[in-house]
Structures are given as C-alpha cells and as structure tokens.
Chains A and B, each alone.
Chain A
Amino acid sequence: MPVWHERTRTYVDDGKLVLLGIAQEQHPERCQLFAQWQQLDWPILHDPINVLQSRAVPMVWAIDEHGIIRLENPRPEQIGPEFVDREFSDDASNEPAASCTPTYAPDFTALRRRAIDSGTAADWQRLADALTLWAADDQLDAAIKAYQQAVAIDATQATAWFRLGVCLRMQYERPPHRVDDFRDAVVAWGKALDLDPGQYIWRRRIQQYGPRLDKPYPFYDWVEAAEAAILARGETPIELPVRPDGAELAAPIRNFESASAVPPGREDAIERDDRAARIEVVVVPDRIEPGRSARVHLVLRLNEDSPEQWDLEAGQIQVRLQPPESILISEPFMAGATGPSARSLTDPVSVGYEIKVPTEVGSEVRVPGYALYNLCNKDDGRCRFVRQDFEIVLLIRAR
C-alpha cells in the first residue's frame, strides 16, 4: 500500500485520481494504526466479513468515471498512461448490477421479516450481514443468531460459517469474554475452510490464532515498530483495544521446537483455587491433523465477583503442563514479557503453548496441567498461593 501511496501521489494531489482502500481486517483499529504509521491519508473502508468475497489480498482495481473497471491488479507504472491519462467512454459490457453489500441504513425489521417468511439461508445471511456492518454494537448477538440460523438451514453455506466466526470472535473480545465464543469461532472458521479450502482470506483468519508450523509469516510483528515510529513523530498512536497476542506475533517455524520437561516438585499439596479465577482453554485449530501442531490459548481470568486480585509482588504466574509420552510441548509464548505475568491487579493473563501430536494418534489427546499464582484479598489484605488444575483436550481430525 505504501507503494501505491507513493506512486499515485502526484495524480491524487492534482485531483486526477482518488485512492480508496478496503481493509480486510478482524480488528479495524489495527488497520487504522497501519494507515497512521504509513501516513496513508485516503479513505479506508472496513470489511470484517469479506463482503466482496475476495479470495486474496491485495487486490487493486482501476475504476473509471463511469464506474467501469479498466485495470485489474495493474503495475504502478500502468496507472498513468493506461488509466489516468486516458479518456474512456461509457461502454460497459454489463448493466449496472445490484448492490453487493447491504444497503446503508437497512430496515432490519423488514430483513428479519423476509428471513422468517422465506426461511432461506440466504435471507438469514442477508440479515446477519446488515446487522454486522450497520447495527449498533449491542446487536452483535442478533447477528450471531442470524448466521447460526443460516447455517442451521444450510450447513454448506461456507461464507455464513466464516462470518459467524468473525462475529463470535468479536463477541469474545467484549465483556464477559465467554470462552465458548472463541472456541465456537474457531470451529466456525474450520467449517468454512473445510467447505472451501482455497479461500486465502479465511485461511489467514484462522492462521492468525494458530500454530507456528502453520503460519506463513508473523501477522502483527509490525505493531511495536509502528507505535514507536508514530511516537517519534510526536503523534499519539491509535489505541488498540485488542492488542495482538502471542499467536498473532509469533514467527513461523519449519520444525517444532519442544521444551524440556520441568520437574513439578512438591506442588500437589498446594491449596486449590476454586473461586477466584478461572482458566480458559482454546485450541486452534479445533481439530488437528495427525503429525501436526496446534496453538493452545490459555487465559487466566479473575471471576467478576471475586474479592481477590493478582498479587503482582509475590512472583510470576507459573503454568505446568504434563503431556502424555510422545506429545511435544513448546516453551510458553508471551507477548512482550519474559514469563507469564499480569500487567495489572485484575487484567487477565494470557499464555500460549504449541502442542505437536504424533502421526499415529487416537481420536483425542488429553494434556493435564495446572497454574500456580498468588492472590490477595482487596478487602482484608490476606494473600495466598494457590493452584488450579485444567485440562487441554486436543481433538484429532479423522483420516
């Protein structure tokens, strides 16, 4: 994009050309940060659900004054002589087609009535798309239900599965952060890819949260450099409500890097915590190919009604995994930290692991583990060191 920005600057400044971007992005603020970093001053539209059903990015179209596409994925040097400097007549080979996106300010009531009356997956998806793009934030659950209705009617609607996953992940990122929403998002994306394995955009969405063996590149390793560069210019970087986690920052690998087992010591006698915090486990992908790896997202989250908080002074949160023989576990992944630790008294703590299963494996692998952490009661100041057990369940894809 910086290439296009540079190579078309003169045409834009002279008023001969308009640059318009469409961001294929789960998180719009990340694209805003990117645009701020690269100083892209042209309008960028947000498309979280791939309404154009594009199968790859980047894609570039040169559209003339009559709305006719004249060039597809041109080289920058073509823009001047073959587009900007040329005169075009209104000679389209087709009639203007219907809109490919829901109309702005749609009538949600009418769309819902149509979906109920027709009972078709397409109409339920149409309602869901409109709710996702144009409804207020509190309608996200309605969008999810509409997509669920679409795939319940027709489970082969790959696009609906993908968009359902997008909305579920959005839901997960909002309080109360229901872990099932993240798990269900992963399952939905998996179903979309099973139906259309060649969909690059969809594949990248699940790879964003997946294992390093399956990554083509680190997805968001540019964020830190972007923020530093923006600050150096004297500007305030766009705030990211959802910062990239370990999976989204991790670089790809070609060989699995397993960690050495750590002797647990006398940790069985430690007091169990069954009320202050919960441990959420999400595995990406939801079904693992034999011989491949998965990314495990562990989140330690304080329960909303708990009077206890993390004791940041007493030491880092520790996680132990006890894998069965032949199961390989990586070192834990943390974004910007040397070990699992909380950034505040109440923030959730995220830890990532990658687990590789052997080629010969059953339908399911269970990896027990436990977390050790310190808590302090904010009312009476009493602190304790506790343990909470959990289990990672890896479902293996049938051959």
Chain B
Amino acid sequence: MLKFLFFAMGWAWLAPSWVGAQQTLTGTRCGDLTLPNLATGQAVSLAEFRGRKVLLIQFASW
C-alpha cells in the first residue's frame, strides 16, 4: 500500500506561511517548524538541526 503511495504520488505544493504562494520551494529558507515527537510527545523543532543536512519526509501509514 505504501509502495503504491510512494510511486503514485503526484505533484504537491505547500501553502503555509513560510512558503508563500510559490509552487517551487527550492532556494527558499524554511521557517521554523515545531511539532510533537511521535514517540515521546516532546516538542521537536527543525531549528534544532540547523548546521546539519536534513531530509524532511512527510508521509502517512495509510
């Protein structure tokens, strides 16, 4: 099921405040992003990883 999702994904774009109305994000700087860690419930911020290369993967188990 997830393999199907991965290979069937279409184009997607973001419309949050740190993206604006652009269709491409390449070259833009992310604003901060803070969400709870799935396992611990503790807040994790994208800013904690500044100084390192990050692969941010948004997905679902369904």
- List chain A positions with a Cβ less than 8 A from chain B: 1-4, 8, 16-25, 28, 30-35, 43-47, 51-73, 79, 83-84, 91-105, 133-134, 200, 204, 208, 217-222, 248
B29 cross-chain contacts in A, Cβ below 8 A: 66-69, 92-97
A103 cross-chain contacts in B, Cβ below 8 A: 34
Residue of B nearest to A71 (CB): B26
Residue of B2, B10, B50, B58 with most chain A CB atoms under a 10 A cut-off: B58
CB of A323, distance to nearest CB on chain B (Å): 31
Q: Within the complex, which residue of B5, B34, B59 is in contact with A101, where a contact is CB–CB below 8 Å?
A: B34
Residue of A nearest to B45 (CB): A104
* A8 CA / B25 CA spacing, docked (Å): 22
* A289 CA / B4 CA spacing, docked (Å): 28
Q: Within the complex, which residue of A45, A54, A98 is in contact with B17, where a contact is CB–CB below 8 Å?
A: A98
Q: Within the complex, which residue of A16, A72, A217, A218 is in contact with B25, where a contact is CB–CB below 8 Å?
A: A72
Q: Within the complex, which residue of B2, B15, B56 is in contact with A20, where a contact is CB–CB below 8 Å?
A: B56
Task: Assess the A100–B38 pair: CB atoms within 8 A.
Answer: no
Residue of A nearest to B32 (CB): A99
CB of A196, distance to nearest CB on chain B (Å): 10
- B interface residues, tally (CB under 8 Å): 52
Task: Assess the A53–B26 pair: CB atoms within 8 A.
Answer: no
Task: Assess the A222–B1 pair: CB atoms within 8 A.
Answer: yes
A66 cross-chain contacts in B, Cβ below 8 A: 29, 50
Q: A46-B36, A103-B34 are in contact. List 14 more A-B contacts (CB 8 A).
A: A4-B57, A20-B55, A24-B58, A25-B60, A25-B61, A52-B16, A57-B9, A61-B30, A63-B46, A65-B51, A68-B29, A69-B25, A97-B18, A208-B62
CB of A9, distance to nearest CB on chain B (Å): 12
Residue of B15, B30, B52 with most chain A CB atoms under a 10 A cut-off: B30
Given the interface contacts A47-B35, A92-B29, A100-B33, does A67 sit within 8 Å of B50 by beta carbon?
A: yes
* A16 CA / B62 CA spacing, docked (Å): 30
Task: Assess the B36–A45 pair: CB atoms within 8 A.
Answer: yes
